[in-house]
Amino acid sequence: MEPSDNMDSLKMYLLSVMKDKRQGVIPFILKGALRVISWVYAICVALVDQAYRRGLREEYSAGVPVISVGNITLGGTGKTPFVILLADHFISRGAKPAILARGYGRDEDRMLRDELEGVPVFSGQDRVRAAQSAVRNGNDIIILDDGFQHRRIKRDMNILLLDAASPFGNFALFPRGVLREPRSALKRADMIVLTKTDKTDEYAKEILIKKIKALAPGVPVIITRHNIIHVKDVTGAIYSPKSLSLSKICAVSGLADPDYFNLMISRKGAKIALRFDFSDHYAYRQKDIDRILRRCREAGVEKIITTAKDYVKIKGLDISGIEDKLFIVDINIDVTEGREKLNAGLNSISPGARA
| Pick among 1.20.1740.10, 3.20.20.70, 1.10.3720.10, 3.40.50.300: CATH of 66-220+338-354 | 3.40.50.300
Kindly report the number of other CB atoms within 10 A of residue 221's CB atom.
19
pLDDT in the model for residue 46: 96
CA 165 to each of CA 85, 168, 198, 200: distance values in angstroms, whole numbers, following the listed order: 22, 9, 9, 6
- What H or E segment, with its residue span, contains residue 307? strand 303-307
For domain 228-332, give its CATH number from 1.20.950, 2.50.20, 3.40.50, 3.30.70. Answer: 3.40.50
Identify whether the C-beta of residue 135 lies closer than 8 Å to the C-beta of residue 64: yes
Per-residue pLDDT at 11? 84
Task: Give buried/exposed letters for 154-166 (b at 16+ CB in 10 A, else e).
Answer: ebbbbbbbbbbbb
Which are the contacts of 139, defined by CB distance < 8 A and separation ≥ 6?
64, 96, 97, 98, 120
Q: Is 251 exposed, middle or buried (0-12, 13-18, 19+ CB in 10 A)?
A: buried
Q: What does the alpha-carbon distance between residue 26 and residue 30 come to, in Å, rounded to a whole number? A: 6
Residues 6 or more apart in contact with residue 245 via CB below 8 angstroms: 268, 269, 270
Q: Do domains 66-220+338-354 and 228-332 have the same CATH topology?
A: yes
Q: Which of 252, 254, 308 is nearest to 283 (CA)?
A: 254
**Count of alpha carbons within 13 Å of 38, Cβ hemisphere only?**
19
In the chain, the amino acid numbered 319 is I
So where are the chain's domains? 66-220+338-354, 228-332
**Separation of alpha carbons 210 and 132, rounded Å:** 40
Distance CA 251, CA 303 (A): 9
How much is the pLDDT for 352?
A: 67
* pLDDT for 161: 98
Question: Which stretches of the chain drop beneath a pLDDT of 50?
Answer: 355
DSSP secondary structure, 221-249, as one string? EEEEEEEEEEEEETT--EE-GGGGTT-EE
Handedness of CA 241, 245, 248, 254 (dihedral sign): positive
CA angle (276 as vertex; 271, 280 as ends), nearest 5: 125
pLDDT score recorded for residue 9? 83
Residue 277 CB partners (closer than 8 Å, separation 6+): 1, 2, 4, 253, 255, 258
The one-letter amino acid code at 340 reads E
For residue 269, which of 296, 233, 244, 240 has the smallest C-alpha distance?
Answer: 244
Please write the tens of the pLDDT for every residue from 57-88.
Answer: 999 999 999 999 999 999 889 999 999 999 99
Total-model pTM: 0.94
- What is the tally of helices (H) and strands (E) in the chain? 11, 12
CB 311 within 8 A of CB 319: no
Bridge partners, 101 (sequence order): 123
What is the Cα–Cα distance from 142 to 97, expressed in whole angstroms? 6
Predicted local confidence at residue 12, as pLDDT = 86
| Count of Cβ atoms closer than 10 Å to residue 39 Cβ | 10
